[in-house]
Amino acid sequence: MKVFFDHDGGIDDFPSLLLLLTYEHVDLLGISITPADTLIEGALPATRKILDLAGRSDVTVAVGTLGGRNPFPPSWRVDCLKVNDLPALNRREPAAPVSDLPGQEFLARTLLEATEPVTVLMTGPLTNLAWALDHHPGVECKVRELVFMGGALEVEGNVSEPGRDMTAEWNIYWDPPAAGRVFDSSIPMTMFALDATNQVPVTEGFRRAFGGQSEHPFSAVAGTIWAMTAGWDLVTGLPYFCWDT
């Protein structure tokens, strides 16, 4: 299965990439980063280092340049800097290439040049794909399926910003027009809304279970990343879930 991955550099995006890289049937064509729940100076190198860890230094990464209407909280966006500094990811300089194209154009070009339809996996806002649809109409028929994390259907949202009523979900809220553009397309979609992700909390037991697998490089990195979520509920008043993952 040919897959293109677009993520937005949040703390749960990196275990998503680790998990994706374990699937032998996935042919990962490229990665773009949407500058949403992140700081690019941490998200880009961390992504490249994880690719190197997996022996996939052949996968090119591109940085998106499009902004959203509603910025993520700054205290969340710095998490990528912590991931980028993990000792297990800093044994050597990253080798995975960086595209000269902005992420949205790299996504479009990769889809247009693919020899067969591509599954697009998005664990952040839909901004880059919406841009591609607007600027390269041929992209629409090249997407076999969009799999994405976003939205809240019959449950409360997770945007608790002042003046908001907790109905919105962050990946949609960051760029609502982009979500509308993608929803209006004919692309088949599988949507993992909060209704689904609310069923998979990151518990203390889950985090500590990685200790029994710490000799495995992927588990060591994933377990350390999940450990960073301890205390989230005390600070925010909200549970932490396996949202993107």
User: Which residue numbers are catalytic?
Assistant: 8, 13, 37, 76, 123, 171, 243-244
**Cα–Cα distances in Å, from 116 out to 23, 27, 104, 129?**
19, 12, 20, 18
Range 64-78 burial, b when 16+ CB lie within 10 A, else e: bebebebebeeebbe
Distance CA 202, CA 240 (A): 6
The torsion region of residue 2 among left (phi > 0), alpha (psi -120 to 50) and beta comes to beta
28: β partners? 3
Query: Number of C-alpha atoms within 13 angstroms, CB side, residue 42?
Result: 21
Q: How far is CA 137 from CA 130, 140, 145, 206, in A?
A: 10, 6, 16, 43
